[in-house]
Amino acid sequence: MKINKGNIIKNLRTERNLTQEEVGKIIGASKQTLHKYENGIITNIPQNKIEALANLFDVSPSYIMGWEKDKTDLSNIPGVIPVKKIIKIPILGHIQCGKPVMSVENYEGYFPADPEIINSDFCLYADGDSMIDVGINEGDLVFFKQTPQVENGTIAAVFVNDTTTLKRFYKKENQIILQPENKSYSPIIIREGDGQDVRVLGEMVGMYCKGSK
């Protein structure tokens, strides 16, 4: 009997209330490609995409391929707590990790996550390399808890005059210091009374590396 991988992928996706576009972005494929997977137009799905789909849907690659009758029951594995609830964290575009440049909030879909692992209000793709010394690289997805205030030394998304940037935030006396984590960059210093609009958008609470896909 011919195994219909497309139906398996479609059923897993609809069970989690995700669109083809949302799943495609997570596994690094276009909406059109995922459509072809689900409808059997492309049957020779690359192994890395099978593994990415299996990781996303918490099943084994063998289940995606149709070689296993049932999904893996994680509750039977000692020390493993299965995900009971998935939340969808909005992806609101990109944030600069270098010098602040013009940026526009641009909704790009959702990232499905276990709230017990990452409790976040929104996330943004990292652009630039000013935070590489703390492991934040170009293309990584950075998660934030929305808040207007953070403690000194916290990595935060900060709005500065129609731009957004990701830096360590410090407020000392009459100035705000946005400190990069790359010795090639100098801190951004904003003095009180100079007329600049500075607002904390959120505190960083997690990260998903692009190499994890």
Catalytically annotated residue among 88, 130, 186, 212: 130
How many angstroms separate the CA atoms of 157 and 143, rounded?
A: 10
**Are 140 and 207 contacting, i.e. CB atoms less than 8 angstroms apart?**
yes
**Are 191 and 133 contacting, i.e. CB atoms less than 8 angstroms apart?**
no
**Are 178 and 156 contacting, i.e. CB atoms less than 8 angstroms apart?**
no
Residue in the structure block whose two tokens are 């944030």: 95
How many angstroms separate the CA atoms of 206 and 134, rounded?
A: 12
130 is catalytic: yes
88 is catalytic: no
Nearest CA to 50 out of 2, 95, 12 is that of 12
Catalytically annotated residue among 5, 25, 167, 213: 167
**Are 113 and 19 contacting, i.e. CB atoms less than 8 angstroms apart?**
no
Active centre residues (catalytic): 130, 167
